[in-house]
Amino acid sequence: MTEQPSDLADPAPAAGMTIDELSAKAGTTVRTTRYYASLGLIPAPERRGRVAYYGDAHLARLEMVRALQDHGFTLQAIERYLGSLPEGASVEELALQRAMLTSWTTTPPERQSRRRLEKRAGRALSDEDIETLAAVGAVAVDGDGYVVLAGFDLGLEMLDLDVPLTSIIASTDAINRHMSELADELTEILRTQVVRPFRAEQHGPEEAARMERTVAALRRVTLEGVVVGFQRAANQVIERSLRRR
């Protein structure tokens, strides 16, 4: 178990962050940072006298933990993942890993009770409604609660469509199947043609931060490209149908 840092206010040296400063930069609380440290998710701090100091590597690990949590990983899964990284992984490497693993959704999954789920939906939900939302991947049943997933609002709109449930599920399955294949192919392109060449050379913190921003921008462009690509393909289907007629 990682040693708990001291909060005694000795004068800070020119370099290094106290646990308060580290937590503030990572956007978490001191208590949460201590808890992560106790699990070994961030390495032990450097002690100078009676005070514990943290560096950029600690911040990078802490930001990695938060990114993985936003992606829906449990702390146990995060511990296993961080344990698989090279012990001497640089700040730049951690930043790149975080960029690759950051969720494409804007909000992490939320676990809610049935009552809170209905409040979130703004309407009463029957058991059949819940089954439909689960079938289209808008919610996941988790014991006696529910996990709200990306596309929940879209799933609510589907409840009001005058379309058989079997048709909705078939459409959802088709979308998921093709999107999984597309995501795999696009991720492989990103890994082999962007990330791998970047890793092959030495880079400083500024270049690593720029690459992280580039990956984030690629996410936005890719999502917009998928929508535009589907619209183009759908129009082509309509044009072929008109030509046949």
Q: pLDDT digit string (tens) for 9-40?
A: 333 333 588 999 999 988 889 999 999 998 88
Does 176 or 13 have the greater pLDDT score? 176
Residue-level pLDDT at 31: 92
**What does 153-208 look like in DSSP terms, one character per residue?**
HHHHHHHTSSS-HHHHHHHHHHHHHHHHHHHHHHHHHHIIIIIHHHHTS---HHHH
Q: Interhelix angle for 91-101 vs 205-244, to 10°?
A: 20
Mode of pairing for the β-strands spanning 145-148 and 139-142: antiparallel
- 142 vs 119: CA distance, rounded Å: 18
Report the pLDDT averaged over residues 190-209: 79
Write the single-letter amino acid at 120. R
46 token code pair: 């450097």
State residue 227's pLDDT score.
Answer: 87
pLDDT given for residue 20 in this prediction: 92
CB 19 within 8 A of CB 30: yes
> What pLDDT shows up at residue 205?
73
Global pTM value: 0.56
110-112 and 145-148 beta bridge pairing: antiparallel
Q: Strand, helix or coil at 125?
A: coil
pLDDT exceeds cutoff 70 at 102: no
pLDDT score of 8 more than 70: no
